[in-house]
Structure 1
Amino acid sequence: MRIGDIAQDVSRIGLGTWAIGGGPAFGGVDTEQQGIATIQAAPSLGVNLVDTAPGYNFGRSEEIVGEAIAGHRDEYVLITKCGLVWDAPGAFFNRVGDTVLNRSLEPDSILREIDRSLERLDTDHIDIYMAHWPAIPPYNTPIADTVACLMDLKASGRIRAIGAANVNAEQVLEYLRYGQLDIVQMRYSILDRAVEQELMPTCIANGVTVQAYSPLEMGILAGAVPRGYQPEPGTARYGKKWFEQARLEQALDMVEAWEPLRNKYNCGTADLAIAWILAQNPHITVLSGSTKPEELAQNVRALSVELTDEDATWMREYAEQLG
C-alpha cells in the first residue's frame, strides 16, 4: 500500500517497538537483543514498516531501532512520533516508573524532539512523523500550529509524511483543513471497535490510511494470556479493560470458540485476530508488537488468511455480545 508521498510501497503489517524498548512499562524485561533480531528479520518476512517513539522507554526504543537498521536504512519505512516529553514542560500524561511524561505539541518542542529522534535513529529523515497524542490544556497548542510545523519539516525533507495518533474525527478534519494528514494510528481490535463509529469512516472518506495498534489486545487475542492472569501494577497491561478478571475470562472464552475457524483456515489465534482487522477495509494497516522473529513470522501469516464475509460477521457478532 502507499502512504502519502513515501516512494516505496508500505507493508500492511508493521512492527511496533514499544515492548522492544523495554523499561518499567514492561516490567524491566530485557528484550533488546531479541528486538534487534526481530527488526533485522522484518524485511525478509515482507515487513518494511517499523514504528517507534521517544516515549517508548525514554528514547531507548528509537536507539534500538537505529542500531538494528544501521547500514540498511533504505529497506525500512520508519514511523516515530512527537508530543510526549520527559525533560521539558507540558500537560501531565503519565508516570512511568519514577519519570513523568508530559504532552506538548508546541512547535519549539517538536523541533527539539525531531533533532533528538534523528540522532537516536541515526538517519537524516523520518518517513512518517506522527503526533503521539493530541494537545490538552494547559498546553493546548492549536492543531493549525502543529500542522504548520510538521509541514515545514516535510518541506525541508526531514520527514516524508505526516501522521497523528489517538485523535478523534473532528481533529482529523482539522489537520486536513490546515495542512496534510497521511495516516492515523488508532487502537483497534475485535474487542475494541469504538473507532468504527466516526474516526475510521472519516479517515477512509478522506484518503487517510488507518493504522491499528494493539490488534491482539496485548497478547489476549494471540492466546498468550492464561486464565487467572493478573498484571503487575505499573506495567503496560495493568488497568486495561480486557485484563479485568471477568472481561479476561469472556475474551478467553471467545478465543476458544474460534477453534473451528483455526481448523478451517489452518492458522493460529493471532492470525484470525489480525486477518479480521485487515478484512474490514483495504486501507487498514496493522502494527504487530512482536518481540521475537518467530512471533513476527507468525503474525505475517494473517495476510494469507482470507476470511469469508460470513466468518468475519460471526466473529464480530460474538465479540459484540461481550461486556
Structure 2
Amino acid sequence: MEYRILGNTALKLSTITYGAFAIGGNMWGGNEKKDSIDAIHASLDNGVTSIDTAPFYGFGLSEEMIGEALKGKDRSKVQLLTKFGLVWDGSNKGKGEFFFEAENEGKTIPVFKFTSKENIIKELEESLKRLKTDYIDLLQLHWPDATTPISETMEALELLIRQGKIRAGGVSNYTLDQMHEAQKTIALASDQVSYSMLNREIEKDLIPYAIENNIGIIAYSPMERGLLTGKYFKEGKLKNSDHRNGYFSQFDLEKVKTFLEKITPVAESKNASLSQLVLRWTTLQKGITIVLAGARNAEQALANAQAMSFDLSHEELAFINSALSEI
C-alpha cells in the first residue's frame, strides 16, 4: 500500500481508501452486516487505513457499522472521513434545497441539501456518536447547497478545526467556481469528485487548480459503480431496487465492453483482475490523491487493497489510454 499526504494537511491517507457507500444498503439493494464489518476488517488488515463514509449512507447505518468495526482498534492508525449536508429527517425545518426522494425499507424519504452552520455542528455531533469517536480526520460537505452562503459553511469548518473536533475540512462535488469562493474563507484540504476512465471532465480545469493550490482530489466511483469490473457483461442482472439499473444507461455499453476486452490482457499480465487494473490506473493519474473503492465483503476488500501490489509502465498506460480514446 502507498500512503499520500492530503493537500495542505498533515493527513497521510491510504491511496486506496475504503468507500462505505454500498454497505449502507440504501440504493444498493440492501446489505449484510457481518459481511460489511468483515470487509472493513479485511481492509485494515491489508494496509487500507482510511475509511470514507457519510450520514446519508444507509441513513446512519454505514457510520454505525464503521463504529462497531473499529471497536478495540487503535484509532490513531485509522483515518475517518465523513460528510455533512444531506438531511432526511425533517430536522432542517423546511430549509435547504430539495435534492431527491430516496427509498428506504419500502418508504420514500425526501432528502434535502442543507449546509447551514447550525446544521453542520449538529450533524457532526451525530456522526461522532455513530462512529464512536471524539474527532473526525476529514469532514466534507457532501453536496453544494444553493440556499446557504458558501462562506457560512466554510466558517463552520474553520470553527470545528479550532475546536479540535475535526483535523481538516473539505468538500465534495464542488465546481471550480465553488472552490474559488470557498478558498476565500478556508484553505480547503480536498474536493471529493466523481472520476473514472469513463468520466474525466475534472482533468480540464479542476485538477490543474487543485495542483496549483495544493488541494487534494479524492476520486469516487472509479469503477463506475461496478461497470468497469466487467461483471455486468457476464451476469447482467441487478436487483430491481439497485440504482445502477438506470445509472448504467448513460454509457455506450457495447463500447465499454469492447474496451474492457482490449485491456484484459494487461490485467492478466499482472495476475490482476480488471477491477484491480482500473483502480491502479486511477491512482496513477495526475492530481489524484486517493481513490475510493467500495467492498461488501472481505474478499472484495482484499482485492481492492491488492490493486497497489503492481505498477504500470508508460507503455502500458499509453495502451490503456489509446483504447480509452475509442469509447
- Structure 1-normalised TM-score? 0.92
Q: Which residue does 1:162 correspond to in 2?
A: 169
Greater shift after overlay, 81-90 or 303-312? Answer: 303-312
Contact 2:276 2:307 (C-alpha < 8 Å) held by counterparts: yes
* Aligned positions, number: 315
For the residues of structure 1 that align with 2:202 and 2:11, how far apart are their CA atoms?
Answer: 28
The alignment status of 1:117 with 2:127, answered yes or no, reads: yes
Q: Which residue does 1:200 correspond to in 2?
A: 207
Distance 1:252-1:300 versus aligned 2 partners, 3 A rule: same
Distance 1:259-1:120 versus aligned 2 partners, 3 A rule: same
Q: Which residue does 1:16 correspond to in 2?
A: 19
Report the alpha carbon displacement of residue 7 of structure 1 after superposing the two structures with TM. Answer: 5.2
Structure 2 counterparts to residues 96-175 of structure 1, below 5 A: 96-97=102-103, 98-136=108-146, 139=147, 141-175=148-182
1:178-219: CA deviations, max 9, x gaps?
112111111111111111111112112211111111111111
Report the alpha carbon displacement of residue 277 of structure 1 after superposing the two structures with TM. Answer: 1.1
For the residues of structure 2 that align with 1:298 and 1:232, how far apart are their CA atoms?
Answer: 24
Q: State which of 271, 279, 294 in structure 1 corresponds to 2:299.
A: 294
Q: Which residue does 2:186 correspond to in 1?
A: 179
- Structure 1: gaps (5+ residues): none
1:126 maps to amino acid: I
1:172 maps to amino acid: M
Taking only aligned residues, the RMSD between alpha carbons, in angstroms, comes to: 1.9
Report the alpha carbon displacement of residue 4 of structure 1 after superposing the two structures with TM. Answer: 5.6
Secondary structure at the counterpart of residue 68 of structure 2: helix
- Structure 2: gaps (5+ residues): none
Contact 1:43 1:75 (C-alpha < 8 Å) held by counterparts: no
Identical positions, percent = 34
Secondary structure at the counterpart of residue 244 of structure 2: coil
For the residues of structure 1 that align with 2:229 and 2:245, how far apart are their CA atoms?
Answer: 18
Report the alpha carbon displacement of residue 315 of structure 1 after superposing the two structures with TM. Answer: 1.5
1:252-280: CA deviations, max 9, x gaps?
22111112212322211011111111111
1:302 maps to amino acid: A
For the residues of structure 2 that align with 1:246 and 1:203, how far apart are their CA atoms?
Answer: 28
Structure 2 counterparts to residues 213-232 of structure 1, below 5 A: 213-226=220-233, 229=236, 231=238
Q: Which residue does 1:267 correspond to in 2?
A: 272
Structure 2 counterparts to residues 44-59 of structure 1, below 5 A: 44-59=45-60
The alignment status of 1:77 with 2:87, answered yes or no, reads: no
For the residues of structure 2 that align with 1:201 and 1:146, how far apart are their CA atoms?
Answer: 24
Report the alpha carbon displacement of residue 321 of structure 1 after superposing the two structures with TM. Answer: 2.1
For the residues of structure 2 that align with 1:188 and 1:197, how far apart are their CA atoms?
Answer: 12
Contact 1:272 1:305 (C-alpha < 8 Å) held by counterparts: no
Q: Which residue does 1:66 correspond to in 2?
A: 67
1:282-323: CA deviations, max 9, x gaps?
65210011111211211222213321222212212322322x
Secondary structure at the counterpart of residue 125 of structure 2: helix
Q: Which residue does 2:320 correspond to in 1?
A: 315
Secondary structure at the counterpart of residue 198 of structure 2: coil
Secondary structure at the counterpart of residue 244 of structure 1: helix
1:82 maps to amino acid: F
1:80 maps to amino acid: T
Distance 1:266-1:232 versus aligned 2 partners, 3 A rule: closer
1:88-141: CA deviations, max 9, x gaps?
2321112111111100111111111111111111111111000001112xx2x1
Distance 1:8-1:209 versus aligned 2 partners, 3 A rule: closer
Contact 1:103 1:135 (C-alpha < 8 Å) held by counterparts: yes
Q: Which residue does 1:306 correspond to in 2?
A: 311
For the residues of structure 1 that align with 2:287 and 2:50, how far apart are their CA atoms?
Answer: 17
Choose between structure 1 and 2 for higher RCO, CA contacts under 8 A separated by at least 6 residues.
2
2:99 maps to amino acid: F
- Structure 2-normalised TM-score? 0.91
Contact 2:11 2:137 (C-alpha < 8 Å) held by counterparts: no
For the residues of structure 2 that align with 1:133 and 1:38, how far apart are their CA atoms?
Answer: 27
Contact 1:151 1:179 (C-alpha < 8 Å) held by counterparts: yes
Q: Which residue does 2:100 correspond to in 1?
A: 94
